[in-house]
A and B are shown apart, each in its own frame.
Chain A
Amino acid sequence: MKFFVNLLLIIAAVILQISLVKEFSIYFAVINIILIIMLMLVFANRPIEALWWAGLGGIALDLVSPARFGLFTLSLLVIYYVVNLLIQKVFTDPNIIVVATIFFVSSIFVDAAWLFVNPSWQVLLINAIYNTVVGSVFYFLCRDRLRPKEAIRIS
């Protein structure tokens, strides 16, 4: 059940990504909804759902993307793997600096492959800053709601 709810949410996020997000673009830069939600879930210690978002979200993005299939999926899976490892082993309760840095680096990693299509460093940088600001703000606003209930009870 949880899986199907997430699947519907992923499809809804991809629809928003290709339709509504461009209305908020800054110098061509747009936020990556799937990346932001996936990282928020990793930070909130919900690795299984984060993995669904990375894998299925990546495939859905690749299906609507004009670029080669697999670019989004592979980059999101690598980010998921590395960030999840960092959160589980090193930064168990990430502060604002860690969250912002991870958003920034992850955004650059996702977009790096696009430099072969369009070598625009400005878009890469503005995208990264945009994703970092939006992702960090949303994460700290929703952090308590995102965390699993068991974890809140223990703390």
Chain B
Amino acid sequence: MKPSRFLIIIAIVAILGLAFSTSLNPARNIFVEIVSPFSHFFTNTGTRVSDFFHTIGSISRLARENKELTTNNLELESKLANLDEVSHENALLKQELGFYQKEKENELVPAQVIGSSPSGFLQTIKVDKGLANGIRQGSVVLSRGFLIGKVSQVNENNAEVFLINNSNSLIPVVLQNSRGTGILKGGLSGMIVEDIALDSKVQIGEMVLTSGLGEETPGGLPIGTVEKMLSVRSEIFQEVSVKSPIEFGKLEIVFITK
């Protein structure tokens, strides 16, 4: 085939594709299914190799962290014991007051990460579960119990997840202790909660949870902890940076709500 003819044919395919992008989802689905075993292999290999070098470079930090975590674990165990007691007491009081426990019906589907966005502009991942597994657009995606994103596009056997560290991701959140509410945004400088009222006494290290406002994301899902204050006193709203325990670049298995 002549190069000029090849160029014209491909250009026509692209222009038609641009016009009827959604009709090409089945073709995308088939292609992703073909390449997914290989991309899954390379995703895992890449993560492991990078983890290996990262671990070597941070042995002393790991030892210190291990010590801190052991201490934290003991504290948490004691808190957990208290919480069990509180939960029991809470259940009893609800029974007394005639409340009924609203069961969470969200079933979690484990999914493997098979790839990520080919461009740096969108922080997305591809997972190997789709419509066939009950996943739908807007389903919440979690890793180790923390919110990491939402399903933005779903095909028969795979789905695209829009991660919360995207600069155009906006999630209404609440700070657990101070009860300050705000909007969580992603971006190059990390995740930031904006528009927190000045009268909220924000504490460093407090948990950031989804507030459930707007009903797009269920409330009460942990996202991370407050890392530092970014705003100064003269500003009309407070702004804090949020640290997630999840490394978004190293996701291998995630959980999606049905």
Contacts and interface: CB of A to CB of B under 8 A. Distances in A.
Interface of A: 11, 14-23, 25, 27-30, 32, 47-48, 51-52, 54-56, 58-74, 77, 80-81, 111, 114-115, 117-118, 120, 122-124, 126-127
Interface string B30-49: 01100100111111011101
Contact of A18 (B13, B115, B122): B115
B7 interface: yes
**Most-contacted residue by chain B among A60, A61, A118 (CB, 10 A):** A118
Contact of B38 (A15, A28, A114): A15
Contact of A19 (B17, B46, B153, B162): B46
B14 A77 contact: yes
Contacts of A68: 17-18, 21
A41 to B, nearest CB: 13
A14 B24 contact: no
13 contacts: A11-B35, A15-B42, A18-B115, A18-B117, A55-B6, A63-B27, A64-B28, A67-B122, A70-B14, A73-B13, A74-B11, A120-B188, A126-B120
A69 B120 contact: no
Contacts of B187: 120
Contact of B39 (A19, A69, A73, A123): A19
B98 interface: no
Nearest to A126: B120
B188 to A, nearest CB: 5
A11 B16 CA distance: 22
B118 A64 contact: yes
A115 B162 CA distance: 16
B168 interface: yes
Contacts of B167: 118, 120
Interface of B: 3, 6-7, 10-11, 13-18, 21, 24, 27-28, 31-32, 35, 38-43, 45-47, 49-50, 115-124, 126, 152-153, 160, 162, 166-168, 187-188, 249
**Most-contacted residue by chain B among A21, A54, A81, A120 (CB, 10 A):** A120
B14 A19 contact: no
Contacts of A72: 118
A25 B46 CA distance: 12
Given A19-B116, A69-B18, A74-B18, 7 more contacts: A17-B118, A20-B45, A28-B123, A64-B28, A65-B119, A73-B14, A117-B168
Nearest to B117: A66
Contact of B121 (A48, A54, A118): A118
A63 B152 contact: no
Contact of B188 (A17, A61, A123): A123
Contacts of B123: 28
A62 B3 contact: no
Contact of A122 (B14, B21, B124, B188): B188
Contacts of A54: 10
A70 B18 contact: yes
Contacts of A80: 7
Give the top 8 A-B pairs by smallest Cβ distance, nearest first.
Answer: A70-B18, A19-B42, A55-B10, A69-B17, A73-B14, A18-B115, A114-B121, A70-B14
A32 B116 CA distance: 13
Contacts of A70: 14-18, 21
A119 to B, nearest CB: 8
Contact of B28 (A63, A71, A118): A63
